[in-house]
Copies of this chain bind each other. A is one copy, B any other.
Amino acid sequence: MAIHSTFPYIVIDSLKIGCMNLENTQVQMRKGILEFCILHIISRGEVYASDMLEELTAAKMIVVEGTLYPLLTRLKNAGLLEYKWVESKSGPPRKYYTLTSQGKKFLDGLSDTWKDLVLSTQKITNNSIA
């Protein structure tokens, strides 16, 4: 196995744009999973945004308004959620969300995907011990 000290290909190595920090990768890891968690929370009964934020924060899944609201809108537009306006005693009315039947199916699919993903990752990370 001879080792090249020079590059056989022309490589432009000059510009390092990568701002590879942990925080950013953590955000990437949460992507998609968040959707799964939110559908799960809604599947248990009618809730509105602040309820969800509370539960997500309690589970240490950091989420902010600017993430949650657009996501709910997206899920609703996709037909996975529906909501009712309900008056509140302390402020403006709230949107209480529930899953549609389509949303339930989607959640089931996501559950499988999540399980597979965890399994796959375990497979890979456990190999390092073997």
How many residues on chain A are close to B (CB under 8 Å)? 65
CB proximity to B under 8 Å, residues A69-119: 74-75, 77-80, 84-87, 92-93, 106, 109-111, 113-114, 116-119
Contact with B along A18-55 (1 / 0, CB 8 A): 11101001111111110111001101100000000001
Cβ–Cβ contact B32 & A117, under 8 A: no
Query: 28 A-B residue contacts at CB 8 Å?
Result: A1-B86, A1-B87, A3-B84, A4-B87, A4-B93, A7-B85, A16-B78, A17-B77, A18-B77, A19-B78, A20-B106, A25-B32, A27-B32, A29-B31, A29-B110, A29-B117, A30-B32, A31-B31, A36-B121, A37-B125, A40-B124, A55-B124, A56-B124, A59-B124, A60-B119, A60-B123, A61-B117, A61-B120
- A residues lining the B interface (CB < 8 Å): 1-8, 16-20, 22, 25-33, 35-37, 40-41, 43-44, 55-56, 58-61, 74-75, 77-80, 84-87, 92-93, 106, 109-111, 113-114, 116-121, 123-125, 127-128
